[in-house]
Amino acid sequence: MSGAEAGDGARIPLEVRPSGIQGLGVFACGPIAPGTRIIEYTGEVISEEEGDRRYDDRGMARHQTFLFALSDGRCIDGALGDNEARFINHSCDPNCETVEIDGTIWIEAIRPIAAGEELTYDYAYERTEGDEARASFYRCRCRAPGCRGTILAPGRA
C-alpha cells in the first residue's frame, strides 16, 4: 500500500496492483468522496515532438503510452519517475476525471469511490484521420455496460 498527496495536502491511501482492465491499476484503500483531488499526474514535461519521438504509434502493436497532453502543447511523460497515477486505467464509465490547473494534472473523483475500487478516467484520446481503420489499436478493455469499444474520444454526432 502507498499513499498519494491529494490537492489539499491530505494523504489518500492507494494501492497499485494487477487490474482486470489492463496490466496494473490503481485502487482506493478507503472510501473517496466526489470532488476529492486524489493524485497528481507527474513525470518529465516534454514537447509534443519529443513525445511523438518517444512513442511512435507506427511501431507499436497497440497504443500504450504514459503521455498526458497539457493545454499549452507540451506533454507529461509519466513513464519517468515515481508516478502511481500513470497506472490509472481508462473506462468509458469512469469514477474520476482529469483537471489541469496551472500546467499540473490532477485526478479527481467524480462520484463516490469505495474501498477496493479501481480508479479510472476516460482517456478520450483525440481522434485523427485514419484512427477508425485502426480500431483494434485503440481498443477499450473496460467492460463497462456502455463501453464505446475504444479509448478514443466519443465521435461527433
- Each domain of the chain, given as residue ranges in start order, spans 2-138
Higher pLDDT, 144 or 65: 144
Residue 9's pLDDT band, with cuts at 50, 70 and 90, is: low
Candidates 123, 55, 136; CA nearest to 94 is: 123
Residue 96 contacts residue 120 (beta carbons within 8 Å): yes
Residue 42 contacts residue 30 (beta carbons within 8 Å): no
Residue 61's pLDDT band, with cuts at 50, 70 and 90, is: low
- Alpha helices (H) in the chain, listed in sequence order: 48-54
pTM of the model: 0.85
Q: Is residue 141's pLDDT more than 50?
A: yes
Report CA Rg, the chain: 15
- Alpha helices (H) in 32-99, listed in sequence order: 48-54
Per-residue model confidence (pLDDT) at position 157: 46
State mean pLDDT over 42-65.
Answer: 77
Considering the chain, what is the average pLDDT of its residues? 85
Higher pLDDT, 17 or 152: 17
Q: What are the residues facing 106 on neighbouring strands?
A: 40, 99
CATH architecture of 2-138: Beta Complex (2.170)
- What the block records as the C-alpha cell of 60 is 507499436
